[in-house]
Structure 1
Amino acid sequence: MDLSYTSQIPTTEFIERRQNLLSQMKENTAAIIFSAQEQVRNNDCHYPFRQDSYFWYLTGFNEPDSALLLIKANGATQSILFLRPSDPLMETWHGRRLGLQNAPQKLSIDNAYSIDDFSTQFFKLTKNLTALYHKNMQQVWGDKLLAESKAEFSEICCWSPILDEMRLFKSANEIALMQQAGQISALAHIRAMKQTRPNRTEAEIEGEILHEFSRFGAKFASYNSIVAGGDNACILHYTENDQALKDGELLLIDAGCEFAMYAGDITRTFPINGKFTQPQREIYEIVLAAQKKAIELLIPGNSIQQANDAAVRIKVEGLIRLGILQGDIDELIEKQAHRQFYMHGLGHWLGLDVHDVGSYSKDCCNGDRNSKIRDRELKAGMVLTVEPGLYISPNSQVPEQYKGIGVRIEDDLLITEYGNKILTSAVPKEIEEIEKLMAE
């Protein structure tokens, strides 16, 4: 098992995170967080292992079949890790394990037990406690272990609201890793632009992207890449990536790498032959203007909702100008007439998960991180995407020249004390810059 990620963030930061969680727990309680498990692909072959983000956030430990137990009682705290014991035979076949003896010193925890002894030890360690912080269904295998332990608590609380709020604000170390994820993702998009030409396939361009991720130390994509030529771009989560690229059409690429567990997320849309047609240029310029306005507004004290409302107005104005929408701009916005061409939100939180945790609404304690009203005040340390788009379905009742055009432009944005910083600015998005790059 690859343990190299543990060097990317200092152990002291994981200690601070655990102490932060403990400080917000009630007295005489415990919290349990389970790791991910390996998932079988077929027979005895597994999918690549990816650690549970919450477990990673508190431990920096990259092995499956593990559990972190935090205890707060009698004016003191404990951190205990359950993990797989060393096994020379299994390690010969499947890779090294940290083991019980090494875990306390390596991860700066108080004690370690075998995961095989979870039920017995968990019962002993928590028998005098009144409440347990646990997120049900986060890891089903862990829920079963808890049931087997026969431990009883007068109250079960969910740790998710506490940890979600902690994860929403990125530390300096996290920001550095996200900058790297953004930079590598940008280099991959640049390579894709340079390698795109008619008659290549979407799959070939996806291969170019993954090559660049790997070349710069990002072993995995942070989500399934979208490489959508022509009207495939009007399918928001298109991932088949198996069609030939056609001369005269656009290519929409939504792809980002995962670097040291942190996600990059970029979308660019560009002409397959290197030159925008006039209708493509007109749609693209509307989306670009909307994104620029949104970025201008995504600053401390404002909200995603404010930026989205401004972006929607620009897009509706543009669609009226092109004859795609007809009517009064305010009435069209009120009726949400634009939703047939822009059916998603402006962006999302970004971090250990590409759609990261955290509430979007003013009532940040309600646990509704998917609230449609994204009116929470932005503050320094938050990282989010800004990704307006327009998708003109081939079946839309619009002027013929615009049918089948799908455009999205997405960047990763760090909210800073003085405004914001674009973490993915290395990849061009101005029409002239894109055409110049592709001409090279």
Structure 2
Amino acid sequence: MSTENTDTSTDGTARGERLEDLASRGDSRSQRPSSEAFREFISSGWDETVPDAERRESADYTPARRDALVRRLPGTRLVLPAGVLKVRSNDTDYPFRPDSAFAYYSGLGTDEEPDSVLVVEPSPEDPTTSVATYFFRPRAGFDTSEFYADSRYGEMWVGRRPTIAEAAQRIGVEVRHIDELRDHLAKDVGARLSLTVIPQVDASVEAMVQEIREQNGLPGGEEAAAESAALKEAASEARLVKDDYEVRQMRLAVEATLRGFEDVIRNLPAAVGHPRGERVIEGVFAATARADGNGVGYDTIAAAGDHACTLHWTRNDGAVRADELVLVDAGVEIDSLYTADVTRTLPVSG
């Protein structure tokens, strides 16, 4: 009796036949139309949108922050990437949040702008003051393939992007196309300036900086890493003392967070009636955070009963029972990326 494995399906179809059938279908992913007729159709008939180019309030405060940074790290061109999109699964990304140092020195917030870079350096006229240049990928025209075919940047996919002029008006610095970044970083490096980058934010920008350093005779290895660490430390320590704008933003974050807690309290009866009542609490707070701000500033802890003994209980899949206590640790991050942090223990039954 033969022991050969023929690998047949319930209807007797051999595995080889099934694979051949799949191969004959070609790529199952949708194909991009490429005819001239399609390109003409997809690029025509669009109305121009009204841009949001209003100058940000933060732009009145970022020059002083950047001046302090170049005084702390003199003679150095400082590279602050916003960061990159991170894949959640397949072709979906996590919501983007820029690196905090980038946000602090650029004045941008919300999800502005993946793959962009802020460069800060001492002014040639007065090295105690700074010059900043912002590099990003601006809006592409309706007549470009990027507009309809690029799922990372295309306006049909991700919405309207600012132009270079609009971005400059928002943040009050010179703005250039991201394709010009390398040439800008390399200019005068070694002869007049050192070059360093905030580490572990954008690997491609970090590699670019290290390559330019090597090409211009700047040391690599431990010395380059020490310069990057010094920039990271300086950018972090600068945020310990808040300016007037930051204080106002933090107060707005606290007010939004308190509204979130009030919404949680109003919805405690619904949490009691659900087998995963902790998730009800988490969801109620998240809805307020998203409506009134950029989202939650960190994963919400909604810990009922014994779960409150776990310091960072973020699974939030337990029941909420009447006559027990529930610990809620949550904060709203507003659009400027300032976050409140409030913890309260609530009696479920009032």
Q: TM-score, normalised by structure 1?
A: 0.56
Q: Distance between the aligned counterparts of 2:53 and 2:315, measured in 1?
A: 31
SS across alignment from 2:239: helix
Correspondence for 2:218: 153
Cα shift readout 1:286-316 (whole Å, capped 9, x = no counterpart):
xxxxxxxxxxxxxxxxxxxxxxxxxxxxxxx
Does residue 181 (structure 1) correspond to residue 253 (structure 2)? The answer is: yes
Q: Which amino acid aligns with 1:10?
A: S
Correspondence for 1:327: none
The size of the alignment, in residue pairs, is 269
Q: Distance between the aligned counterparts of 1:142 and 1:248, measured in 2?
A: 54
Shift of 1:60: 1.8
Does residue 123 (structure 1) correspond to residue 158 (structure 2)? The answer is: no
Correspondence for 1:271: 347
Change (3 A) 1:113 1:127: farther
Shift of 1:262: 0.5
Q: Distance between the aligned counterparts of 1:5 and 1:42, measured in 2?
A: 33
Shift of 1:152: 4.2
Q: Distance between the aligned counterparts of 1:228 and 1:98, measured in 2?
A: 42
Shift of 1:148: 4.2
Matches of residues 53-132 of structure 1 in structure 2 within 5 Å?
53-61=100-108, 62-72=112-122, 74-76=124-126, 77-88=130-141, 89=147, 90-109=154-173, 111-132=174-195
Correspondence for 2:320: 245
Shift of 1:72: 1.9
Change (3 A) 1:220 1:4: farther
Does residue 24 (structure 1) correspond to residue 72 (structure 2)? The answer is: yes
Matches of residues 160-309 of structure 1 in structure 2 within 5 Å?
160-197=232-269, 198-200=272-274, 201-215=277-291, 217-260=292-335, 261-274=337-350
Change (3 A) 1:6 1:173: farther
Matches of residues 349-368 of structure 1 in structure 2 within 5 Å?
none
SS across alignment from 2:95: coil
**Alpha carbons 1:29, 1:73 under 8 Å: kept:** no
SS across alignment from 1:192: helix
SS across alignment from 2:318: coil
Change (3 A) 1:130 1:167: same
Q: Distance between the aligned counterparts of 2:175 and 2:216, measured in 1?
A: 19
Q: TM-score, normalised by structure 2?
A: 0.70
Bigger mean CA deviation after superposition, 167-176 or 123-132: 123-132
Shift of 1:18: 1.2
Q: Distance between the aligned counterparts of 2:262 and 2:87, measured in 1?
A: 35
**Alpha carbons 1:256, 1:264 under 8 Å: kept:** yes
**Alpha carbons 1:222, 1:256 under 8 Å: kept:** yes
RMSD: 2.5
**Alpha carbons 2:70, 2:76 under 8 Å: kept:** no
Change (3 A) 1:107 1:187: closer
Cα shift readout 1:334-385 (whole Å, capped 9, x = no counterpart):
xxxxxxxxxxxxxxxxxxxxxxxxxxxxxxxxxxxxxxxxxxxxxxxxxxxx
Q: Distance between the aligned counterparts of 1:50 and 1:141, measured in 2?
A: 18
Cα shift readout 1:19-69 (whole Å, capped 9, x = no counterpart):
22123232x321111112112222222211111110010112321111111
SS across alignment from 2:61: helix
Cα shift readout 1:176-218 (whole Å, capped 9, x = no counterpart):
1111111111121122123213333111122221232234x21
Shift of 1:253: 0.6
Change (3 A) 1:7 1:82: closer
Shift of 1:8: 5.8
Shift of 1:130: 4.2
Bigger mean CA deviation after superposition, 142-151 or 78-87: 142-151
Cα shift readout 1:116-175 (whole Å, capped 9, x = no counterpart):
332233212535234234332243232122234445435642212322222111111111
Q: Distance between the aligned counterparts of 1:50 and 1:263, measured in 2?
A: 13
**Alpha carbons 2:53, 2:169 under 8 Å: kept:** no
**Alpha carbons 1:83, 1:99 under 8 Å: kept:** no
Shift of 1:17: 1.3
Q: Which amino acid aligns with 1:170?
A: K
**Alpha carbons 2:78, 2:196 under 8 Å: kept:** yes
Change (3 A) 1:196 1:233: same
Correspondence for 2:89: 42
Q: Distance between the aligned counterparts of 2:76 and 2:267, measured in 1?
A: 56
SS across alignment from 1:269: strand
Structure 1: gaps of 5 or more residues: 275-440
